[in-house]
């Protein structure tokens, strides 16, 4: 059933048809990699984020919340290193012109043959000619593949003529090939800033730039660029590329106003923006997305213990809403993968249809961020523990810069994970006894956009009125219920299966006489008749039960 190749197409189509996710600005042709969360998508996203907030903030005395500005003082990004270093190495394929991130590209091993894979035979012919012209070799054409290259060692690939054991020519090999075509003919890596820049203030920098260019016509290209850059920089602001920095910048305010004692955390969720050059896999990597991040401040020397603690907590959290908890794993970062400020890092990964990939990072960020912000702002960002002995002086009372453990999750990426997890196709029999496919989104009831649908069997005889009253009772109890009278009952059940509504309540001709309704369970399709007076309580019990399973 869970056909890896087709599943993404099916989910994307269902998400659009059923109002979960739309292409942004669709009527204008859409904006690449920007998505809108529709009537059901917004509910699912909020439910995921609310559950995160409940677990991370409400249920913990040691974590407090924050909702900071998206646009912060530019010095924040200077101190954090984002302005100088928040860039990914980018590479162009010299043949196909494909541009991609070097750190995300496939890495063939020594001895592997490299087949440049084109879209069709015509393209293979063109690329063969282009490679011949530029590198003076004729690769063998095999359908839409170009063959004859092999990795010789970590930094060389060889060209092998047909049936020859020895290479006739070698080329530099950066350790990776282009993701779409498998091409090893690549440019040098270039840096690219992932932060979106904008301008703040009443005066438009364009006027100053025009004057500068007019007055400095004698400057060469680099000098001119530097001059313009300086003017732009004076009024530049940035859309945050992560929510994390606000928690460091507001460390003292949060700690002091809430009298927090170490260890404690500050949590925040909200939008982040990255000028991603490779947007991929639908909403997995987009330029605008939502994060759920928490900075947990700990005593120096205890970071390993807390890192282990948070990896377990976060992994369990993701699993608790899943039909297939084994699809979530964690993976330690290799030394060369570690960010310069981290002394250890783990990725919580999910088994997406294209393989295991990141869902959340749990990093041990040392005292790097607080120290950097203290240095750049001139504000002491430290903590005084009266009960602890200072390890250096041996006296009671220890002032130190806390270490930080950061569980940083993607909310929109999490939404994709739960859509994939929930998507099921089942063979069931229709009214005539024929096999038919039932698509059902087995979303965890806590995440499902609607918890209950109330369906009058027919649109007359007072059934709609009874159904509407029942919907109101659910609303009063704080349960998102949906009144639905469109189409035949079977079609309505299917519609609610496809959006993941865990329970459908049907009001029929008998209801008036026996004051009972039929509850249909989404997953088992079993039906039970219950008293209408009890319906709200029964559903509340079922929803509560689903969270303690």
What residues between 246 and 275 interact with ligand ATP by CB under 6 A? Answer: 274
280 is an interface residue for ligand ATP by CB under 6 A: no
DSSP conformation class of 143: T
Looking at 276, 349, 369, 484, which residue binds ligand ATP (CB under 6 A)? 276
Within 10 A of 62 (CB to CB), how many other CB atoms are there? 12
Looking at 80, 286, 322, 366, which residue binds ligand ATP (CB under 6 A)? 286
DSSP 218-268: TS-HHHHHHHHHHHHHHTEEEB-S-SHHHHHHTHHHHHHHTT--SSEEEEE
Residue 254 to residues 251, 310, 386: CA-CA distances in angstroms?
Answer: 5, 21, 19
Kindly determine how many residues on this chain lie close enough to bind ligand ATP according to the rule CB under 6 A.
16
Sign of CA dihedral 110, 112, 118, 119: negative
Looking at 45, 115, 285, 520, which residue binds ligand ATP (CB under 6 A)? 285
Q: How far is the CB of 292 from ligand ATP (least distance, A)?
A: 8
Indicate the residue whose CB is closest to ligand ATP: 410
Between 12 and 219, CB nearer to ligand ATP: 12
Between 48 and 481, CB nearer to ligand ATP: 48
Tokens representing 83? 């302005």
Q: How far is the CB of 363 from ligand ATP (least distance, A)?
A: 7
Looking at 291, 303, 322, 364, which residue binds ligand ATP (CB under 6 A)? 291
Locate tokens 């460390």: which residue? 251
DSSP 173-220: --S---TTT----BPPPEEEE-S-EEE-SSS-HHHHHHHHHHHTTTS-
Q: Which stretch binds ligand ATP (CB under 6 A): 8-16, 21-29, 286-294, 444-452?
A: 286-294
Q: How far is the CB of 368 from ligand ATP (least distance, A)?
A: 15
Between 296 and 450, CB nearer to ligand ATP: 296
Tokens representing 47? 């439910």
Locate tokens 């994307």: which residue? 12
Between 276 and 484, CB nearer to ligand ATP: 276
Between 48 and 455, CB nearer to ligand ATP: 48
Is beta strand 344-352 parallel, antiparallel or unpaired with respect to 355-364?
A: antiparallel
N-to-C CA span, the chain: 25
**HSE of 225 in the Cβ direction (CA atoms, 13 Å)?**
3
**What's the CA gap between 152 and 157, in Å, rounded?**
5
Between 148 and 361, CB nearer to ligand ATP: 361
Between 289 and 400, CB nearer to ligand ATP: 289
Locate tokens 């060389």: which residue? 156
Dihedral pair phi/psi, residue 432, rounded to 5°: -90, 5
Q: How far is the CB of 435 from ligand ATP (least distance, A)?
A: 39
**Of residues 469, 418, 448, 423, the one with CA closest to residue 543:** 448
**H-run or E-run covering 476:** helix 463-476
446 is an interface residue for ligand ATP by CB under 6 A: no
Tokens representing 246? 């606000």
DSSP conformation class of 402: P
Buried-state track 398-416, b at ≥16 Cβ within 10 A, e below 16: bebbbbbbbbbbbbbbbbb
Between 374 and 408, CB nearer to ligand ATP: 408
Q: How far is the CB of 48 from ligand ATP (least distance, A)?
A: 12
Q: How far is the CB of 488 from ligand ATP (least distance, A)?
A: 40
Is beta strand 197-199 parallel, antiparallel or unpaired with respect to 190-193?
A: unpaired
Between 115 and 274, CB nearer to ligand ATP: 274
On whether the CB atoms of residues 441 and 500 are closer than 8 A, the answer is: yes
Between 35 and 383, CB nearer to ligand ATP: 35
Locate tokens 């099921």: which residue? 424
What residues between 355 and 414 interact with ligand ATP by CB under 6 A? Answer: 358-361, 408-410, 412-413
What residues between 302 and 361 interact with ligand ATP by CB under 6 A? Answer: 358-361
Q: Which stretch binds ligand ATP (CB under 6 A): 24-32, 110-118, 217-225, 281-289?
A: 281-289
Dihedral pair phi/psi, residue 300, rounded to 5°: -55, 135
Q: How far is the CB of 386 from ligand ATP (least distance, A)?
A: 35
Q: How far is the CB of 418 from ligand ATP (least distance, A)?
A: 13
Between 177 and 408, CB nearer to ligand ATP: 408
On the 0-12 / 13-18 / 19+ scale of CB atoms within 10 A, 430 is: exposed
**HSE of 441 in the Cβ direction (CA atoms, 13 Å)?**
28
Between 50 and 546, CB nearer to ligand ATP: 50
Looking at 289, 318, 341, 400, which residue binds ligand ATP (CB under 6 A)? 289
Q: How far is the CB of 447 from ligand ATP (least distance, A)?
A: 17
Q: How far is the CB of 195 from ligand ATP (least distance, A)?
A: 12
Between 118 and 348, CB nearer to ligand ATP: 348
242 is an interface residue for ligand ATP by CB under 6 A: yes
Q: How far is the CB of 287 from ligand ATP (least distance, A)?
A: 7
**H-run or E-run covering 117:** strand 113-117
Q: How far is the CB of 37 from ligand ATP (least distance, A)?
A: 13
Q: How far is the CB of 88 from ligand ATP (least distance, A)?
A: 8
Q: How far is the CB of 289 from ligand ATP (least distance, A)?
A: 3
Helical spans, DSSP H, in 18-65? 39-53
Between 196 and 483, CB nearer to ligand ATP: 196
What residues between 171 and 210 interact with ligand ATP by CB under 6 A? Answer: none
Nearest 10 degrees: CA dihedral of 140, 145, 150, 155? Answer: 120
Q: Tell me which residues touch ligand ATP (CB under 6 A).
A: 242, 274, 276, 285-286, 289, 291, 358-361, 408-410, 412-413
């Amino acid at each position: 059933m869970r056909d890896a190749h087709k599943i993404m197409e099916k989910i994307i189509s269902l998400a659009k048809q059923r109002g979960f996710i739309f292409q942004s600005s669709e009527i204008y042709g859409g904006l690449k990699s920007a998505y809108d969360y529709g009537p059901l998508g917004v509910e699912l996203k909020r439910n995921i984020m609310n559950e995160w907030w409940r677990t991370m903030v409400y249920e913990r005395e040691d974590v407090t919340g924050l909702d900071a500005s998206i646009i912060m003082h530019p010095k924040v990004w200077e101190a954090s290193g984002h302005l100088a270093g928040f860039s990914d190495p980018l590479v162009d394929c010299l043949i196909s012109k494909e541009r991609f991130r070097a750190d995300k590209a496939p890495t063939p091993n020594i001895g592997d043959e490299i087949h440049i894979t084109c879209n069709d035979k015509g393209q293979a012919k063109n690329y063969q000619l282009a490679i011949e012209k530029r590198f003076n070799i004729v690769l063998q054409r095999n359908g839409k593949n170009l063959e004859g290259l092999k990795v010789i060692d970590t930094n060389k690939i060889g060209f092998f003529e047909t049936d020859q054991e020895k290479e006739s020519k070698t080329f530099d090999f950066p350790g990776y090939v282009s993701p779409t075509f498998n091409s090893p003919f690549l440019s040098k890596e270039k840096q690219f800033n992932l932060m979106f820049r904008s301008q703040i203030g009443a005066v438009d920098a364009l006027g100053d730039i025009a004057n500068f260019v007019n007055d400095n016509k004698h400057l060469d290209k680099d000098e001119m660029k530097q001059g313009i850059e300086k003017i732009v920089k004076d009024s530049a602001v940035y859309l945050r590329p992560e929510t994390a920095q606000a928690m460091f910048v507001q460390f003292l305010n949060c700690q002091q106003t809430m009298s927090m004692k170490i260890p404690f955390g500050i949590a925040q969720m909200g939008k982040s923006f990255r000028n991603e050059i490779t947007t991929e896999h639908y909403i997995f990597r987009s330029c605008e997305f939502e994060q759920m991040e928490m900075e947990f401040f700990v005593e120096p020397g205890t970071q390993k213990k807390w890192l282990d603690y948070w990896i377990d907590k976060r992994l369990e959290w993701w699993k608790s809403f899943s039909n297939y908890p084994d699809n979530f794993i964690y993976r330690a970062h290799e030394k060369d993968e570690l960010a310069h400020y981290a002394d250890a890092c783990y990725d919580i990964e999910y088994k997406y249809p294209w393989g295991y990939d990141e869902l959340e990072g749990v990093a041990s960020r040392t005292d790097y961020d607080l120290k950097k912000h203290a240095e750049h702002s001139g504000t002491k960002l430290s903590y005084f523990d009266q009960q602890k002995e200072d390890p250096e002086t041996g006296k009671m009372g220890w002032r130190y810069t806390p270490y930080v453990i950061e569980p940083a999750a993607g909310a929109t990426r999490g939404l994709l994970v739960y859509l994939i997890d929930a998507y099921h196709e089942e063979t069931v029999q229709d009214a005539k006894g024929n096999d038919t496919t039932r698509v059902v989104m087995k979303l965890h009831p806590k995440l499902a956009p609607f918890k209950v649908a109330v369906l009058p069997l027919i649109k007359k005889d007072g059934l709609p009125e009874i159904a509407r009253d029942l919907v109101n009772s659910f609303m009063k109890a704080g349960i998102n219920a949906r009144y639905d009278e469109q189409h035949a009952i079977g079609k309505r059940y299917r519609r609610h299966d496809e959006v993941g509504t865990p329970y459908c309540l049907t009001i029929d001709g008998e209801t008036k006489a026996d004051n009972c309704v039929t509850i249909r369970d989404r997953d088992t399709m079993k039906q039970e008749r219950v008293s209408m007076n009890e319906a709200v309580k029964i559903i509340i019990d079922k929803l509560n039960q689903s969270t303690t399973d």
